[in-house]
Amino acid sequence: MDQKIIFRKTFIDGLFLIEPTVNDDERGSFFRIFCKDEFKNMGINMDIKQMNVSFNKFAGTLRGLHYQSSPSTEAKIIRCCQGEIFDIAVDIRKKSKTYLSFFSVNLSFRNKLMLFIPGGFMHGFQTLDKNTVVEYYHSDFFMKELDNGIFYKDKTLNIKWPLKVTNISERDKGLPVIDERFVGYIK
């Protein structure tokens, strides 16, 4: 049984779309979502320190755009276990050729795709189905004092969210926009 994980490069350096090899039989299916050696072979030395799950009751729920500042930036693997999400990763590495560019993808249990997001990125998603479950694997611990974000309707980014935003936290509604004071993550 081949358990290889397929890593697809995106146009943003270090950001990978991940596709597991799915083995189906009469019982159902089996697939690997993480193998330290396979990630290491792609130049990703991710030590998972925290795993989180979000359950989202309603389609149109938006979470983000969030990032953790230096020195505790974190890499993430994002996976949708139930339902479907429109997932966004925004490059905020000041010296990157793709600074303030974003990559978006639909993640679902049906397509089994995952997204690897290196440190130095903002992340957010919108649920496309009700009762959506999202898993996050983090390379660093959450540190409230370094937790930051940018408003999801920021004009500089101009993200086209697929659904009307029907559910969002008060915190996310009040996040700032990108302006001359935004320094991003400097690597």
Q: Is 187 contained in some domain?
A: no
Tokens at 60, concatenated: 């149109």
Whole-number Cα distances in Å, 76 to 48, 58, 60, 170 = 9, 24, 22, 24
Q: Is 24 contained in some domain?
A: yes
Tokens at 84, concatenated: 């479907």
DSSP bridge partners of 140 = none
- Residue 182 above 80 pLDDT? no
Domain count, the chain: 1
In angstroms, the CA 23 to CA 13 distance is 30
Q: Is 184 contained in some domain?
A: no
Question: Which spans in 112-178 are helix H?
Answer: 170-173
Q: Is 182 contained in some domain?
A: no
Catalytic pick from 67, 123, 136, 138?
A: 136
Tell me the per-residue pLDDT of 96-108, one tens digit each, with 9 for 90 and over.
Answer: 999 999 999 999 9
Q: Is 183 contained in some domain?
A: no
- Residue 127: pLDDT band by 50, 70, 90 thresholds? very high
**Helix H or strand E encompassing 2:** none
- Residue 1 above 60 pLDDT? no
Q: Is 180 contained in some domain?
A: no
* Structural domain span for residue 106: 5-173
Q: Is 181 contained in some domain?
A: no
Taking the alpha carbons at both ends of the chain, their separation in whole angstroms is: 40
Catalytic pick from 66, 99, 138, 152?
A: 66
Tell me the per-residue pLDDT of 10-31, one tens digit each, with 9 for 90 and over.
Answer: 999 999 999 998 888 899 888 8
**99 included as an active-site residue:** no
Reported pTM: 0.91
**136 included as an active-site residue:** yes
